[in-house]
Amino acid sequence: MNNIQRAVLIRHYGGADAAEVAEIEKPTPGQGQVLVRVLAAGVNGIDWKVREGLLQNDFPLPLPIILGAELAGIVVAVGPGTSRFHIGDRVMGAIEGLGAYAEFVAINEVILSPTPEGLKNIHAAAIPVAAVAAWNSLYQAGPLYRGQRILIHGAAGGLGSYAVQFAKREGAEVFATAGSADLDFVRSLGADHVIDYHSQRFEDVARNINLVLDYVGGDVLDRSWQVLTEDGVITGTTSPDILARKPANRRGFWFMNKPDPVLLETLAREVASGTLQSRIGGIVGFADIPNAIERNRTASRTGKVIADFSR
């Protein structure tokens, strides 16, 4: 039996060349774990942030690190003490501590969700991080209310596109920034005011904002404080130093996502039924994952890029 598998990992922190396709030993499921043959995995910003060492203080992991935060696949073996899943079950989920970019992953069954019938693996792999993070970051600062003015940066991306839909469900007035090519897409999600960041300054359009969801970072975060109401708040997913950059008398939160298999199961069923839109921005093969990680860092893209392990 072949116990060697491919994985995308880093042995040291660095730039694009730090991520490599390597051969490692296939794991064995331990207590409460199942062995998943990974069929697809989502590419996320956390991959290059970990690769470059930007999160080593906030998200410490021992080197070498197998990258990849979310997967969809099929259970091929079960460890002792498992009861939720059986061999042959299709599963999906986010991974605590990364590790999805491997052909086989031993993972605690409690953080996995069943993949809904009719949902393809490449679509299932696009949901665990983005949909759950969009939902939880939207509510981190407190309950939403009808008429709340919410500004969502990066509204055409994986997190942003879900957040627009969730905010509209709650009756919020949604302001959303996106690139010129994605304006119609973001409008189709329900955004009330779509701002083309290529030709418009969002601070000239979005004012008296109660909540900003910053999925972009950089100077976008710094410029966003001025659009808030007196008691407004920014929740950011891209800037761990948000509290240090927060002006006096302003409220801001740094959001880090955690697996939520119950919420994921609910949202995945909505995607499968068509009540929640999920957009794939591109599909790459296993060998191209290191390049896809770098493109996630350098180029904006509509929707989520997925690695199809059959390619």
Residues 24-79: tens digit of each pLDDT: 999 999 999 999 999 999 999 889 999 999 888 877 888 999 999 999 999 999 99
Residue 298 CB partners (closer than 8 Å, separation 6+): none
In a shared domain, residues 292 and 226:
no
- Phi and psi at 75, nearest 5°, equal -70, 125
Say which CATH number the domain at 206 has: 3.40.50.720
In a shared domain, residues 223 and 122:
no
pLDDT at 1 over 70: no
Residues 125-165: tens digit of each pLDDT: 999 999 999 999 999 988 999 999 999 999 998 899 999 99
Burial class for 277, CB neighbours closer than 10 Å (0-12, 13-18, 19+): middle
In a shared domain, residues 111 and 32:
yes
In a shared domain, residues 116 and 175:
no
d(CA 134, CA 220): 18
In a domain, 122, yes or no: yes
pTM value is: 0.91
Residues 7-33: tens digit of each pLDDT: 999 999 999 999 999 999 999 999 999
Percent pLDDT > 70 in the chain is 99
Say which CATH number the domain at 85 has: 3.90.180.10
d(CA 290, CA 309): 13
In a domain, 53, yes or no: yes
In a shared domain, residues 102 and 154:
no
In a shared domain, residues 121 and 9:
yes
| Closest of 30, 35, 33, 41 to residue 93, by C-alpha | 41
In a shared domain, residues 77 and 169:
no
Q: Are 31 and 81 in contact (CB under 8 A)?
A: yes
In a shared domain, residues 135 and 249:
yes
In a shared domain, residues 107 and 135:
no
In a domain, 93, yes or no: yes
Reply yes or no: is the peptide bond before residue 64 cis, omega within 30 of 0: yes
In a shared domain, residues 135 and 245:
yes
In a domain, 164, yes or no: yes
Q: Are 27 and 290 in contact (CB under 8 A)?
A: no
In a shared domain, residues 87 and 157:
no
Q: Which residues constitute the domain of residue 106?
A: 4-126+279-308
